[in-house]
Structure 1
Amino acid sequence: MELGEAKRRCRDVIERIESLPASCKRTLLKLAHSELSFLSRAATSERPLSLNIGHIEAVVHILHLPCITGVSRVCKPIPLSPSLNVHVDIACTLNTNPVWIIVSDRNPNYITCNGLHSRLHQLTAAAASASVALRPSSLILFFSHGLSSFLSDKLMHEFGATLVLLGHPSFHFHLIEEAGDWIHVLLPRTYQEASVFEIKLGDPKPDHVSCLQSHVMAAHWDLPEDTSSPLFPPFTSLLSKMHLFPLDVETMETAKMGHCEVVNFDTTALIALVSAISNGGTQKLLATPESELRRRFKGNYEFVIGQVMSEIQNPILVELDSTISGKGGIICETVHSEFKELVTMYGGPNEKLRTSHLLKYLRVVPDSPSKRMMSLPTTRKLALKCKVVFGTGDYWYAPTATANMAFVRAVSQAGMSLRTIEHGPRALTGD
């Protein structure tokens, strides 16, 4: 019975892993399938089972929490130097700050003071020696079965740990069939007994807004508006839900401190918002003769048609509406300049009209990339311009809306957690 239950838990956690973002899946799937293979081989063995499935379940539970974003490592070492790696269960962003999460699924009776003390000294020393890009602001310790009061007191007094609430207890349901009807059966992993501690290590992003002074400004567009051309309803609906905040440094400082949600847009996101493909132009493009489209888009014909088909299946304005609604929008000076130049050169009259409306809802901030972003080496994949754009979002504790997945992957591969809002690319069509 124990073996059958363990196998069922493995299959259930594999199913839950599949619903995670691609960046979180690979290692976890490998671990879960390895555990399932071990259990299958153990079917004829009479030895007591040594299970790792509980640890995998706890990691997956944490990764599903809405407060967890910007995951860069899952159950893998973080390379701190050519000769030093540190193993953490999750490296991510928690409530705008980069953290390392350590998960224990052990019975509290078997967690020793010496073992815990040694592990924490290793982690705090590693965090202190990490580069600015990889250094966490906190260690989060997740004990899925709780922790004894003796060890809890030790953590608080020796390491300055505080008890925190990491999301809410999660009740997992599994469907089984009985007499032709589907019923819900409550699985035992509710994590109501879990103890979660935070050990603050200092702010890895000691940036300041003093450089802004009066440079925060409204984006603007010099073209006259053509009110005779109606805007696409989903586009106006999305803009109407964006939060507008006053143009003063004090308010921007409040936003930076996390009291007002802000989204940083890169150029790919702005183009996606105003593109004719995103604004009801898919059928018009599909009705246009292929020869004309090939003449207009030249070598990008297949790329544009691919975006059209993607838009039909997954309308990008609908996708972004839920993540942008109620938030303020910022763009850095580099994006502001590049976006206006691209629309001037390649945008059609309707795309330019949408641009004039969109820029009224955004605030331009100086290029001010965070220190941790700029500490990453500049390479072909980690281009300086992208570091400035994404780093400015990181400076403001704001996720960056982007279609630039190559840069996002490169940052993750470097081990740095970064908050992003990812979407498919859309091109200007000249409409």
Structure 2
Amino acid sequence: MGFDQSEVEKLGEEKIDTGKKLIERLNLLTHIQGVGKVQKKISAEISTLKNAIISKRLKINHIACSNLVHFSYLVKVLEETNDVVGVDFPIKLRGSQKSTIRIDIVANNGKTWIKVIARNPKALNDIALGRSNYGAKSILDHASCYIEAAKDNLQCFQTPKVVFDFANPIDNELANSLEELHIDVRIDGTNKSSGEMNEPIGVNSKLNLDVTTMMAFVSALTCESCDWEFTQKILSEQAHRERSTSTKTFLDELFQGKELIACETAKDSFLSILNVVGGPNEKIRASKLLNSVTFLPDINEIEENSLWSGNVKLRLGKKIQHRTYKVFTFGMYHKAITVTANKGAAEAAKMQGISVPVVIHEARALTEQKQSTAKNF
């Protein structure tokens, strides 16, 4: 069936309207990393169609091949998925600092990677079976790449589950080939074999305590009273936030039933700080805490090298200094989630392509000695 130019332009306008609505829907999800980037890509697709209409060069192929088809399905799956932490998220490949794959949706706190596919089922089958132009990368090639990347990018010491979510039914032979590669196949959001959408979040029973966590756990600010106005602005700000959210309650609940470990570097640093600025009651609480923690040696060079694959390695920097590096690598080696207030270091590691399993809490200083110069409410 042929289309005259006015009909093609009408279809183009409808596609542009679809793109605008997608951007509006994504406005509700801008707290998710990468959503803004997806909105910019959708805007670029809209601009391409608009320019083609203005110049009278719009063809039906422009509409049929528009990436808005992909983005429409991406937004649909995104809205139906829980615990999303990233969209269009880059993952580095083994042996290269530059080569990456992009994960459409990272969910389940990083433990599930979802690739959404809205392409024509016949085209997918033809490429997979070699009935296409030479060099075209098939869905099976993508699957192998995802699986290898997942093995090299553990999340909380687990290989992420890889899901391919197809907008349309696919050939059983292709689905079976994907499942043999350990890909979960979903059709329109439904798991092909079980019908279940979301994966349970795993629980880790071992926690690695950072210096910042030990301080917060024994601080007078979290254990006695936060109704203080200190002469030091940063302490007053911590007291104000503590009145809103109890850090000690958070840590008590987190520690419940867990094995607590820490490295010698963390212990020595904590004791050094405690001896200088800790008050009498903070020192008593610290003694009880230290008795409940298993302290192990810092990992050695051989153990450290066993953590890394290829040339991907956590590097020291402004936000990742020597002590933090020791604490993070210790936790990763012992397969323990690191509990820390050092959010900046965890984010800096992520920027390097290293996902350090962490639980972040707010920082709290030792304040007992400072109360003598503070005002009590």
In 1, Cα distance between the equivalents of 2:209 and 2:234? 22
Name structure 1 gaps, 5 residues minimum. Answer: 166-188, 197-257, 294-300
Contact (CA 8 Å) 2:162, 2:184: kept in 1 or not?
Answer: no
Letter in 1 for 2:313: L
Which residue among 127, 139, 142 is the counterpart of 1:119?
142
Give 1:362 deviation, angstroms.
2.0
Q: Which residue of 2 aligns with 1:348?
A: 279
The equivalences for 1:17-416 within 5 A come to 17-18=30-31, 20=32, 25=33, 27-32=34-39, 34-35=41-42, 48=63, 50=66, 51=68, 52-59=71-78, 64-65=82-83, 74-76=88-90, 78=92, 84-89=98-103, 101-106=113-118, 109=121, 110-112=123-125, 113=128, 115-123=138-146, 137=159, 140-145=162-167, 147-157=170-180, 159=181, 161=182, 163=184, 191-193=189-191, 261-283=205-227, 285-286=228-229, 293=231, 301-368=232-299, 371-372=306-307, 376=313, 378-381=315-318, 382-416=320-354
Q: Which residue of 2 aligns with 1:249?
A: none
Give 1:191 deviation, angstroms.
2.4
Contact (CA 8 Å) 1:58, 1:144: kept in 2 or not?
Answer: no
Letter in 1 for 2:35: L
Name structure 2 gaps, 5 residues minimum. Answer: 1-13, 130-137, 195-201, 370-377
Q: How many residues align?
A: 317
Task: Give the CA RMSD over aligned residues.
Answer: 4.2
Query: Alpha carbons of 1:320 and 1:41: their partners in 2 closer, same or farther (altered >3 Å)?
Result: farther
In 1, Cα distance between the equivalents of 2:176 and 2:357? 33
Q: Which has the higher contact order (CA 8 A, sep 6+)?
A: 1
Query: Alpha carbons of 1:3 and 1:35: their partners in 2 closer, same or farther (altered >3 Å)?
Result: same
In 2, Cα distance between the equivalents of 1:259 and 1:29? 31
SS at match of 2:368: coil
Query: Alpha carbons of 1:397 and 1:270: their partners in 2 closer, same or farther (altered >3 Å)?
Result: same
SS at match of 2:103: strand
| TM-score, normalised via structure 1 length | 0.60
Give 1:107 deviation, angstroms.
5.2
Give 1:149 deviation, angstroms.
1.9
Query: Alpha carbons of 1:307 and 1:127: their partners in 2 closer, same or farther (altered >3 Å)?
Result: closer
Contact (CA 8 Å) 2:103, 2:115: kept in 1 or not?
Answer: yes
| TM-score, normalised via structure 2 length | 0.67
Larger radius of gyration: 2
In 2, Cα distance between the equivalents of 1:154 and 1:190? 19
In 2, Cα distance between the equivalents of 1:318 and 1:260? 19
SS at match of 1:277: helix
Query: Alpha carbons of 1:195 and 1:402: their partners in 2 closer, same or farther (altered >3 Å)?
Result: farther
Q: In the alignment, does 2:23 pair up with 1:16? A: no
Give 1:119 deviation, angstroms.
2.4
Identity of aligned residues (%): 20
Contact (CA 8 Å) 2:265, 2:327: kept in 1 or not?
Answer: yes
